[in-house]
Amino acid sequence: MASRKNTRIAAGAALIAAALLIVYLVNRPESAAATQATDDAYLRADITAVAPQVAGPIVAVLVEDNQRVEAGQPLARIDDREYVLAVSSADAALASARATADGLRAQSAVQESLIRQARAALDADAANLALARADFARYRNLAADGSGTVQARQQAQARLRVQEAQHAKDDAAAQAETGRLRILQAELARAQAAVEHADAAAAQARLNLEHTRLAAPVAGVIGHRSVRVGNYARVGEPLLTVVPLDRIYVEANFRETQLAHMRAGQPVRLTVDALPGTAFTGRVQSLGPASGVSYSAIAPHNATGNFTKIVQRLPVRIVLDADQAGLDRLRVGMSVQPEVDVSAARS
């Protein structure tokens, strides 16, 4: 009887302990677990869409679907005949602008010589004018005391007036030559601006010619190729994409209740649905700054009377460790199940 009683007591204690354990587990925060997992995760890569920067018919396609390419490898060519002519025209316009500027520089040099000549004439006029003034003063004094004739005084006065007129004439000529130099300098500045404009136009024409040859911006695999020979390429319209599979990563959307202890650098174990039985390792690279719904064009308006709380998900970026077997079989879009070890954060 006593043993049966003890058995009942032990069974009751076990049931109470189990009930307490269930209550604890039910009420324990989800973030308290040592690991956090989700099935809302997918392989991603920074896919680059290749779009032409100039328009024209496609004359050659140099890659195939799913082909591996290196950065800078030619992908396609646009008919460049129009752009070759544009370069020739721009180079001719640049040469003409430079010739005009050179001609104005030569005219400016000649004009500076004319100004120096006019200034030399003014210096000679100044010397002659000083001599004429001295002669006039001397003959005027001689005529005043009777030592000289009135005729000599009048002749000296006439020579003075002639020298004054000549000086005024040469001064006006010097000012005119200086004004012409200013005009030439303004025209030269305008010509130099025209040279810079033509140089920029020629550089743009050469750049457009280079853009007729499409090259891979990064290394990767060709995907979503819509370009064909004979198609008309339009500026900004994607022709194909380059998927950098060597820089593939995981975008996992964890519930906000799982992120309390998640930090960058924590180890991650991953399984891929397409590769059963194969496990990969990685680490948390970063946590997203906002939930997915925060980027929605029409954000939810929760200030209503019928509000229902919905647990949000935030993106977590996970990078895969290098040199793992099977990495070359991973493709963008595959479903992944990551399991993050968050125990290090709590310790």
* CATH number of the domain to which 90 belongs: 1.10.287.620
Residue 197 has pLDDT above 60, yes or no: yes
Alpha carbon distances (Å) from 93 to 40, 81, 103, 199: 60, 19, 15, 9
Please tell me the predicted confidence (pLDDT) of residue 26: 52
CA 217/CA 70 separation, integer angstroms? 8
Is residue 202 located within the same domain as residue 259? no
Comparing 28-32, 202-206, 252-256, 294-298, which segment has the lowest mean pLDDT? 28-32
Three-class SS string for the chain?
CHHHHHHHHHHHHHHHHHHHHHHHHHHCCHHHCCEEECCCEEEECCCEEECCCCCEEEEEECCCCCCEECCCCEEEEECCHHHHHHHHHHHHHHHHHHHHHHHHHHHHHHHHHHHHHHHHHHHHHHHHHHHHHHHHHHHHHHHHCCCCCHHHHHHHHHHHHHHHHHHHHHHHHHHHHHHHHHHHHHHHHHHHHHHHHHHHHHHHHHHHHHHCEEECCCCEEEECCCCCCCCEECCCCCCEEEECHHHCEEEEEEEHHHCCCCCCCCEEEEEECCCCCCEEEEEEEEECCCCHHHHCCCCCCCCCCCCCCCCCEEEEEEEECCCCCCHHHCCCCCEEEEEEECHHHHC
Q: Does residue 286 sit within a domain?
A: yes
Comparing 65-69, 248-252, 293-297, which segment has the lowest mean pLDDT? 293-297
Is residue 167 located within the same domain as residue 99? yes
Residue 296 has pLDDT above 80, yes or no: no
- Number of domains the chain contains: 3
Is residue 192 located within the same domain as residue 102? yes
Q: Give the model confidence (pLDDT) of 39-94 as tens digits.
A: 999 999 999 999 999 999 999 999 999 999 999 999 999 999 999 999 999 999 99
Residue 29 has pLDDT above 60, yes or no: no
Residue 347 has pLDDT above 50, yes or no: no
Picking from 199, 224, 241, the residue at the C-terminal end of a domain is 241
pLDDT band at 163 (very low <50, low <70, confident <90, very high): confident
- Please state the rounded mean pLDDT for residues 166-189: 84
Residue 324 has pLDDT above 60, yes or no: yes
* CATH number of the domain to which 263 belongs: 2.40.30.170
Q: Does residue 9 sit within a domain?
A: no
- Please state the rounded mean pLDDT for residues 333-342: 95
Comparing 42-51, 76-85, 290-299, 308-317, which segment has the lowest mean pLDDT? 290-299
Picking from 223, 241, 259, the residue at the C-terminal end of a domain is 241
Residue 144 has pLDDT above 80, yes or no: no
Is residue 170 located within the same domain as residue 235? no
Is residue 233 located within the same domain as residue 299? no
Is residue 97 located within the same domain as residue 117? yes
Is residue 85 located within the same domain as residue 177? yes
Is residue 142 located within the same domain as residue 252? no
Please tell me the predicted confidence (pLDDT) of residue 344: 67
Q: What type of residue is 293?
A: V
Q: Does residue 322 sit within a domain?
A: yes
pLDDT band at 229 (very low <50, low <70, confident <90, very high): very high
Please tell me the predicted confidence (pLDDT) of residue 20: 65
Please tell me the predicted confidence (pLDDT) of residue 303: 66
Q: Give the model confidence (pLDDT) of 253-273 as tens digits.
A: 999 999 989 999 999 999 999
Comparing 39-53, 174-188, 308-322, which segment has the lowest mean pLDDT? 174-188
Q: Does residue 17 sit within a domain?
A: no
Is residue 108 located within the same domain as residue 140? yes
Domain coverage including residue 219: 51-78+213-241
Is residue 192 located within the same domain as residue 277? no
0.75 cut: is pTM over it?
no
pLDDT band at 28 (very low <50, low <70, confident <90, very high): low
Is residue 146 located within the same domain as residue 62? no
- Please state the rounded mean pLDDT for residues 156-180: 80
CA 251/CA 44 separation, integer angstroms? 6
Residue 2 has pLDDT above 70, yes or no: no
Please tell me the predicted confidence (pLDDT) of residue 89: 96
Is residue 107 located within the same domain as residue 185? yes
Q: Which of 15-29, 162-176, 234-248, 291-305 has the highest mean pLDDT?
A: 234-248
Q: Does residue 25 sit within a domain?
A: no
* CATH number of the domain to which 221 belongs: 2.40.50.100
Q: Which two tokens stand for residue 106?
A: 């030569």
Higher per-residue confidence, 216 vs 32:
216
- Please state the rounded mean pLDDT for residues 96-117: 89
Residues 50 and 211: beta-carbon distance below 8 Å = no
Alpha carbon distances (Å) from 250 to 216, 220, 244: 24, 17, 14
Of 257, 250, 271, the closest CA to residue 315 belongs to 250
- Please state the rounded mean pLDDT for residues 158-166: 80
Beta strands 213-215 and 220-223 are unpaired
Please provide the size of the chain in residues.
347
Q: Does residue 331 sit within a domain?
A: yes
Q: Does residue 221 sit within a domain?
A: yes
Q: Does residue 148 sit within a domain?
A: yes
Q: Which residues is 250 bridged to in the sheet?
A: 43, 318
Residue 327 has pLDDT above 80, yes or no: yes
